[in-house]
Structure 1
Amino acid sequence: MTLIDLSHSFEDGMPGFRLEDENGTETEYTAEIHPLFTHEESRSKYEGEAAFEVTEIQFQTSVGTYLDAPYHRYPDGRDISELEIDELVLPGIVVDARGLAPGEQLTEAALPPEASLAGKAVLFDFGWSQYWGSEKYRSYPYLSESVIETLIEANVALVGVDTINIDDHRDPARPAHSQLLAEEILIVENLRNLTQLPESGFRLFAVPIKAVETAAMPVRAFAEVSEN
């Protein structure tokens, strides 16, 4: 058995998402990580016999490698805490989607046979994680509506991408989020190392903390690859 890490490091000032402000500028959301108190600051509390650091993190939950629950799109959808463990540990398939240009959509011709997709985590390797942290990462290829429809018809369990957004950010309707989450198909964004995975024969683990009334949450995504 081999374990492959599919997550970006979660760190202070990491790349996040941007939203346009009313004045036309953009705000980038990220994580802030710092000590609540340091080892040295805590030493006196233990009479010099021990010392501990406690870390404080402030972040929006849609940063890093993260999972979207239906509540992210729909007010009456299930939140992160309501997802079952067996929805977060799934057999996986990787679709080779490399070679597309920024703003280009992937067509259903790239998909494997529909019958092989049922109940699976379907991960799309656009080769885009190599641009993590650069401006190029923010302009990316995406899934066409025909691919989204095929995934729904095939009854997949989860869809993952190695881009910042499963949808084209220029489309306000957000068809992938809207249609997949309406069908209880979970979404993971900002994956990495998908090229290291076999096309099939692995299990995806994408388990967040059990956060109540939470729409999305970072995960330590990884794959368990069976030895043949």
Structure 2
Amino acid sequence: MLRAYADRMPDYRAHFDFDIRFANGGGLAGSGFRLDLPGAHATEDEIARLLIAHLGLALVDEVELRGVRIVEEAHRGSRGVDAPSPAAGGTRVVDLSHPIRAGLVTYPGLPAPTITPHLTREDSRARYAPGTEFAMDIIHMIGNTGTYLDSPFHRYADGSDLAGLDLSSLVGLRAEVFHLEDAWDVSRRGIRSATLADRDVRGAAVLLHTGWDGWFGQPEYGEGAPFLTGEAAQWLIDAGAVLVGIDSVNIDDTESGGERPAHSLLLGAGVHVVEHLTNLGALPPRGARFTAAPPAVEGFGTFPVRAFAEVPA
């Protein structure tokens, strides 16, 4: 079950079957359908109108709903339900990054960071005025540590390195969050374009919430993880996404024998990739602003970021 957004009023969704008849002939039926609602007391007429808006239908004559149940459940981004707007209190910040510590295993098989002192507080006392002391430490780590961003240089020798990235493509991006914890299973781990196609992602950071971050730091994290398929990556490029993030071990299938279609396509098109996100369940499907900016390191392709989202309070 999705974690509820922190400090927000509960969300509600309708569960139902439906039959739709069109004025110019033909019909459409669905079973076990789920739809975001603006509140707990929506009428069947309101649900029918929201269903039409979500499906983008024209020339509808009649809508029949059956077995309607309204339940408290996190929104998934149905069209026709407005995204939250900033309240008078402004915004709150949601941290989406794993803390980095000595010995942290991010990606199984890659080295863990080490942290050693360059100048201890005790030794610094001899260099500064009485009562003044500092600590200076050295961290030795691979760029693929914690929550990190991949630049095109990570995949392509002639691609932009971290220092060459446009900050406007990393800061304050409109976030389209896809809550997919119950939309995949071990027999079909790949996230396909059809799962993402109901949203306008042009200019957006597309964040894929799979719930796999619950295994982070454990051996299970590296096996059987969800990923983005190559055809879905191409769809996101064509749809105009500027960044794609996931809370899994890799945006590609690491059990595919070395193929990396999502990385190759996204980074080849200049679409940033952020891996090992966490806490995406605290975000609404729409309405947040996402930031993930690495330091401007020349000749480097990937580096940890402090990824976070600003959400209307």
TM-score, normalised to structure 2's length?
0.67
Q: 1:55 is matched with which residue: 137, 148, 156?
A: 137
Separation in structure 2 between the aligned mates of residue 160 and residue 112 of structure 1, nearest angstrom:
16
2:247 counterpart of 1:165: no
Aligned equivalent of 1:219: 305
Paired AA for residue 211 in structure 2: G
User: How far off its partner does 1:144 sit?
Assistant: 1.8
Unaligned runs of 5+ in 2: 1-90
Q: 1:153 aligns with which of 214, 218, 238?
A: 238
Q: Percent identity?
A: 37
Structure 1, 104-113 or 78-87: larger mean CA deviation: 104-113
Give SS of 2:208's match: strand
User: 1:134 aligns to what?
Assistant: 218
2:166 to 84, 89, 93: 84
Q: Partners of 1:86 and 1:62 in 2: how far apart?
A: 23
1:3 counterpart (86, 93, 97):
93
Give, as a single letter, the amino acid of the residue that structure 2 aligns with 1:40.
E
Contact in 1 for aligned 2:106/2:217 (Cα 8 Å): no
Cα distance in 2 between the residues matched to 1:49 and 1:221 = 36
For 1:144-200, what per-residue CA distance to the aligned partner results, in whole angstroms no more than 9, with x for missing partners? 222112111101000000012100012312000000000000000000000000001
Q: What is the one-letter code of the residue matched to 2:177?
A: V
CA positional deviation for 1:208: 0.9
Does 1:38 pair with 2:124?
no
Deviation at 1:88, TM superposition (A): 0.4
Give the deviation of 1:143 after TM superposition: 1.2
CA contact (8 A) 1:81 1:212 kept: yes
The one-letter amino acid paired with 2:123 is E
Deviations 1:105-150 (A, max 9, x none): 1222321425x11110000001011111111111201112221121
CA–CA distance in structure 1, aligned partners of residues 168 and 312 of structure 2 = 18
Matching residue within 103, 125, 131 for 1:13: 103
Runs of 4+ in 1 over 4 A off after TM superposition: none
Work out the CA distance in 2 between the residues paired with 1:40 and 1:96.
49
Q: Does the alignment pair 1:175 with 2:265?
A: no
Letter in 2 for 1:11: R
Residue of structure 1 in register with 2:203 after alignment: 119
Which is higher, the Rg of structure 1 or of structure 2? 2
Q: Tell me the secondary structure at the aligned position of residue 207 of structure 1.
A: coil
Residue 29 (structure 1) aligned to one of 94, 111, 116? 111
Alpha carbons 1:95, 1:112 under 8 Å: kept? no
What is the DSSP-based 3-state SS (H/G/I as helix, E as strand, rest coil) of the residue aligned with 2:101? coil
How far apart, in 2, do the equivalents of 1:195 and 1:49 lie? 45
Give aligned pairs, total: 218
SS at match of 1:123: strand
Q: Which amino acid aligns with 2:133?
A: A
Higher relative contact order, structure no. (Cα contacts within 8 Å, ≥ 6 residues apart): 1
Partner of 2:155: 73
Q: Secondary structure at the match of 1:44?
A: coil
Structure 1 alignment gaps of length 5 or more: 19-26
Whole-angstrom distance in 2 between the partners of 1:48 and 1:118: 57
Determine if contact 1:95/1:124 at 8 Å carries over to the other structure.
yes
| Rounded Cα–Cα distance in structure 2 between residues aligned with 1:6 and 1:175 | 25
Structure 1 window deviating more from structure 2 (97-106 vs 33-42): it is 97-106
1:213, CA displacement in angstroms?
A: 0.8
CA distance in 2, matches of 1:67, 1:221: 9
Q: Distance in 1 between matches of 2:292 and 2:248?
A: 16
Match of 2:291 in 1: 205
Q: Residue 126 of structure 1 aligns to which amino acid in structure 2? A: T
